[in-house]
Chain A
Amino acid sequence: MATTTMTMAKALNEGLRRAMEKDPKVLLMGEDIGKLGGVFRITDGLQKDFGQDRVVDTPLAESAIVGTAVGLAIRGYRCVCEMQFDGFVFPAFDQIVSQVAKLHKRSDGVYNMALVIRLPFQGGIGAIEHHSESPEAYFAHTPGLRVVSCSTPNDAYWMIQQSIESNDPIIFCEPKSRYWEKGEVDLDNPPHGLYDAVVRREGSDVTLVGYGSSVKTMLRAADAAAKEGVSLEVIDVRGIAPVDFPTLVASLEKTGRLVVVQEAPRTASVGSEIVAELTERCFYSLRAPGVRVAGYHVPYPPARIEEEYRPSVDRVLDAVDQVMGFES
């Protein structure tokens, strides 16, 4: 088994490279992704190796990046569109919701919208406004789309390839604060299916559920709680839409307590959906109401105070205390 250590950024780069080698119909499109290699260098070196027709430096207009990818999909190409930052996806929102999500249906299945929209999301990098947002709920809410997020280099390497191979459109959320963290990548075998939720740490008292940047926060909370004698199970949900509920249900039936962690604002969010669905499915197993640890209902704050906004280990542990202390 060939494993190697690399950053998530490099793992994405290698995953894209492998997908392009395997399928000549795979194209990359985005702003500054060619010569520059992307502002996060995710596509570094790919234009040099695959040429300007396959790694396309586009004019600066997100609706057109996605809108032309739709046309290329109709023609049989598989585009991976890079949105430079989460907060810049909104000009493309119309194309994503009105065409990407609906054309398979409108054409009675004739068109496959096989395209991936890469979205560096979540905060924690000290950036200015519009560079730290978590818009995943908009897309998870839209029938016709699928949404996933990676939290490790190994997942990044495999999930980007699995997404490119999918015949459905996928919003691929990359936790940019984790781009430079290293991990083992197994170059031979994908670890999981694309939408599988994965138990990252087993525990018995409380189930923590999250994705992207929150996974590391949850694991650190589990370390801290273990020292206090509280056993936390950590689940990386990975598939944001659809969510792998059977895996979550199995955990909750064991622990009876649920904390969901996300950077996105709490109201009408992915976390809200997970709590609601699990409440319906596991009502008689629940020992406490599910709690969401989330961003506040404010525009993403200036970076000097973003750590007070993002879920911290302490806030997760407070929520753990809350569900552990609940008495019915």
Chain B
Amino acid sequence: MIDEELVQLLTPEGERVDHPDYTSSLSGDRILSMYRDMVIVRRLCNESTSLQRQGQLALWAPSEGQEGAQIGAGRALAPMDFTFPSYREHGIAWCRGVPPEQVLRMFRAVSNGGWDPQKYRHSVPTIVLGNQVLNAVGYAMGVQRDGADEAVLTFFGDGASSQGDVLEAFVWASSFNAPVVFFCQNNQFGISTPSSTQSKVPLFRRARGFGFPGVRVDGNDLLACYEVTKAALENARAGGGPTMIEAYTYRMGAHTTSDDPTRYRVEAEVEVWKHRDPIERIKALLVREYQIKPTAFESVREEADAIALKLRDDVLAMGRPDPLSMFDDAYSEPHPLIDEGRREMAQLLASEGGGE
């Protein structure tokens, strides 16, 4: 991966490299802690894939391979910052403290959302590509009006980068100097569509045309993702306006469990990216530089297993929602069609012997 424009602080082999603009500020303890985050998030992802294969989830969107980007960005946030995800930001949800089983409520098809977005300062999933990026800019305009010392971080992929909403969001953020950071995970594919179809120039270069900086970071380099995101968020909080970050990474798994990536990409490419794994390179650094012992890695693995087993238990315990709950929260205020629908269904359920 020889790319002069790519910000990298740690090579795939786990060796530190210097960069003129960014220096890693993380202690060994923090790096180990973020290693733990990545291992847990990957373990939860793999457990979720298994749950889907066993018929316990309607769908799963794997994030494997993108843990460096997500944990790096997620741990760079300040507590009061607000995040607007798409639907693959499981690592961000983890960093924000969303309980893993709540992330799976949508995939279990018991909710269209899953968690309290104000409590975790992490908005609900957005499936329509790019919508959330405009919502994030609007939220940032509110932060600006409140004079709050907060920034907004929003996520989208190389596929969504073609959406009008994303490009309109760039215009708005620039015109109003909104305290927002655009975090584009370029995982190389929108389902089967290669990122080369989305853009003939590197995505991060688009930012310059909209009037704000764009940075391409090695998305599999946790240290670089952390520093680049932290700097962009600090700049936004200080009134410096938006930044676009292109985290150059790879979706190791399928788009979702409904997808078959062997139809559109070759195994050799996947093999190349396996050598750039974000977790392995941090592990190499921890061994070499901080003399972390195998027992420490083993205990992280055991902890991840335990959390995954709890996730499995929690998911299996999720029953079918009360059908009448579909009428809850469709509106904030009373609505005659909601009352009518609820009444009709309640009668129907009662006549069926109370439903299930």
CB-based contact B117/A107 at 8 Å: yes
User: A71-B136, A71-B137, A77-B145 in contact; A110/B116 too (CB < 8 A)?
Assistant: yes
Per-residue interface assignment for chain A, residues 198 to 227, with 1 indicating a CB less than 8 Å from any chain B CB and 0 otherwise? 000000000000000000000000000000
Q: Within 8 Å CB of B200, what residues of A? A: none
Q: Which of A63, A104, A105, A111 is the one whose CB lies under 8 Å from B164?
A: A63
Q: Within 8 Å CB of A68, what residues of B? A: 134-135, 137-138, 141, 172
Q: Is A302 an interface residue (CB 8 A)?
A: no
Q: Which residue of B is nearest A242, CB measured?
A: B336
Instruction: Give the number of A-B contacts (CB < 8 Å).
Output: 136
Q: Within 8 Å CB of A71, what residues of B? A: 84, 134-142
Q: Is B305 an interface residue (CB 8 A)?
A: no
Q: Which of B113, B131, B141, B336 is the one whose CB lies under 8 Å from A95?
A: B131
Identify 5 residue pairs between A and B in the complex whose beta-carbon atoms are under 8 Å apart, listed by A's number. Answer: A59-B172, A63-B165, A64-B165, A68-B135, A108-B113
Per-residue interface assignment for chain A, residues 235 to 267, with 1 indicating a CB less than 8 Å from any chain B CB and 0 otherwise? 000000010010000000000000000000000
Q: Which of A38-88 contact B (CB under 8 A)?
A: 53, 58-59, 61, 63-64, 67-77
CB-based contact A72/B171 at 8 Å: no
CB-based contact A143/B135 at 8 Å: no
Q: Is B328 an interface residue (CB 8 A)?
A: yes
Q: Which residue of A is nearest B329, CB measured?
A: A109
CB-based contact A63/B134 at 8 Å: yes
Q: Which residue of B is nearest A61, CB measured?
A: B168
By size class, the interface of chain A is: 35 or more
State the CA gap A70–B336 with chains docked (Å): 25
Q: Which of A70, A74, A99, A168 is the one whose CB lies under 8 Å from B332?
A: A168
Q: Is B123 an interface residue (CB 8 A)?
A: yes
Nearest first, the 10 closest Cβ-Cβ pairs linking A and B are A71-B138, A67-B134, A75-B142, A68-B138, A71-B139, A167-B332, A109-B329, A64-B168, A106-B113, A71-B135
Chain B residues bordering chain A, tally (CB within 8 A): 41
State the CA gap A146–B138 with chains docked (Å): 22
State the CA gap A99–B136 with chains docked (Å): 12
Q: Within 8 Å CB of B137, what residues of A? A: 64, 67-68, 71
CB-based contact A99/B135 at 8 Å: yes
Contact residues of B: prevailing secondary structure:
helix
Q: Is A94 an interface residue (CB 8 A)?
A: yes
Q: Which of A58, A63, A102 is the one whose CB lies under 8 Å from B112?
A: A102
State the CA gap A108–B117 with chains docked (Å): 9
Per-residue interface assignment for chain A, residues 90 to 117, with 1 indicating a CB less than 8 Å from any chain B CB and 0 otherwise? 0100110011001111111111111000
CB-based contact B169/A64 at 8 Å: yes
Per-residue interface assignment for chain B, residues 329 to 356, with 1 indicating a CB less than 8 Å from any chain A CB and 0 otherwise? 1111101110000000000000000000
Q: Name which of B111, B146, B332 has the most chain A CB atoms within 10 A of its CB.
A: B332
Q: Which of B117, B138, B145, B175 is the one whose CB lies under 8 Å from A67?
A: B138
Q: Is A144 an interface residue (CB 8 A)?
A: yes
CB-based contact B142/A76 at 8 Å: yes
State the CA gap A160–B286 with chains docked (Å): 61
Q: Is B266 an interface residue (CB 8 A)?
A: no
Q: Is A322 an interface residue (CB 8 A)?
A: no
Q: Is A285 an interface residue (CB 8 A)?
A: no
Q: Within 8 Å CB of A77, what residues of B? A: 142, 145
Q: Within 8 Å CB of B142, what residues of A? A: 71-72, 74-77
Q: Is B128 an interface residue (CB 8 A)?
A: yes
Q: Is A166 an interface residue (CB 8 A)?
A: yes
Q: Which residue of B is nearest A244, CB measured?
A: B336
Looking at the assembled complex, report how far the CB atom of B152 sits from the nearest CB atom of chain A, in whole angstroms. Answer: 8
Q: Which residue of B is nearest A115, CB measured?
A: B138
13 further interface pairs, Cβ-Cβ under 8 Å (given A72-B142, A144-B331)? A61-B171, A63-B164, A63-B165, A64-B165, A72-B138, A74-B135, A74-B138, A74-B142, A105-B330, A107-B124, A108-B116, A111-B117, A168-B333
